[in-house]
Amino acid sequence: MRQYLSKRFVSAVCRISFKMNKAILLLLVIVGLSSVQPHGYVRQPLARTSIFRNPSFGATMPFWWNDTGVMCGDEVQDINFSRCGRCGDAFGQTHANQGGTYDKGIITGTYTAGQIMDVEVDITANHRGFMQFELCPQVTETNGCFTHRLNFVSGDRPIRSGNMMCTGNDHQNGIIRARVQLPAGVRCTRCTLRWTYRTSYPPNPDACFNGGPAQTFRNCVDIRIN
C-alpha cells in the first residue's frame, strides 16, 4: 500500500512539474514576443522579404518571418547607409538579395514606363524620419545598380526635396499611401524597387531628418516595367 501511494505521489508531482514547465515556457514565449519591436515593410507592391503575407503567390519556405524588422542587422547607419546590406541584411550578408535565401523570383507588381505607381508602406512602430524609393533598372541586381531615386508625386505625409517622404511623429503608425513617378524609357522584365526608411532615432530635433547615425530599414521589391 505504501509503495502504491509513493508511485501515485511521484506521478502527481511529475504531472504538476510538466504543467509548470509548459506555463513557464509559454510565459517566456510571450515575453520574447513582447520584446520584438517591428517597424515596417512595403505592403504594395509586396516586398521580397514579406512574400509569405500573400499565399496566392505560391512562395515556399524559408521565409523572413520578422519581415517588419529588416533593419541592416540592427546597426545604425550613416547618411550613405555604408554598412547596410543591399536589401536590408546585416553588412556583408546577402540573404535578402536577388539570388539569396529569401529571393523567390516572384514579380509582385507590373507597371508601364513613366507610370505614376501607387505604393503602400505599413509602419508598425513609427520612429519618425523619412523614406525613399530607388529603382535598379536592370534584370541583374547589383550593389551599384540603384541609379534612379524616384520622386513622390503625392501621399499621406509631407514630402521633402521631391524624393523624401517624412513618416510622421512617434507612434503615428499605420499604412502610408503614396504615388511615385517611374522614369520614362525604363523597361525590364524584372527589376528591383528598393525602399529605405531612415528613422530619426536616436531622437533628433528634426522629426524628418537625422544627419547622424540612425536606425534604418530596407526592403527590396521585384517588379516588371513594360
Half-sphere CA count of 58, side-chain side, radius 13 A = 3
- Residue 31 in this model has a pLDDT that exceeds 80: no
Nearest-angstrom CA–CA distance, 219 and 95: 12
What CA–CA distance (Å, rounded) separates 109 from 46? 8
Residue 24 — pLDDT band, cuts 50, 70, 90? very low
Q: Under a CB-based contact definition with an 8 Å cutoff, are residues 222 and 108 in contact?
A: yes
Model confidence over 149-189: pLDDT tens digits? 999 999 999 999 999 999 998 889 999 999 999 999 999 99
pLDDT, one tens digit per residue, over 109-136 is 999 999 999 999 999 999 999 999 999 9
- Residue 68 · residue 41 · CB < 8 Å: yes
Instruction: For residues 200 and 138, give the distance between their C-alpha atoms in angstroms, rounded to a whole number.
Output: 32
CA distances from 146 to 1, 166, 187 (A): 80, 21, 14
Q: What is the pTM of this model?
A: 0.84
Q: Domain 37-225 is in which class?
A: mainly beta
Residue 143 has what DSSP assignment?
T
Question: Domain residues of the chain, as ranges?
Answer: 1-35, 37-225
Instruction: Specify the amino acid at residue 212.
Output: G
Q: Which burial class, exposed, middle or buried, applies to 11 when counting CB atoms under 10 A from its CB (0-12, 13-18, 19+)? A: exposed
Q: Which helix (H) or strand (E) holds 220?
A: strand 216-225
Provide the residue type at 206 as one letter.
D
* pLDDT of 140 higher than 80: yes
CB 203 within 8 A of CB 177: no
Tell me the pairing of strands 148-149 and 216-225. Answer: unpaired
The position carrying cell 505614376 is 116
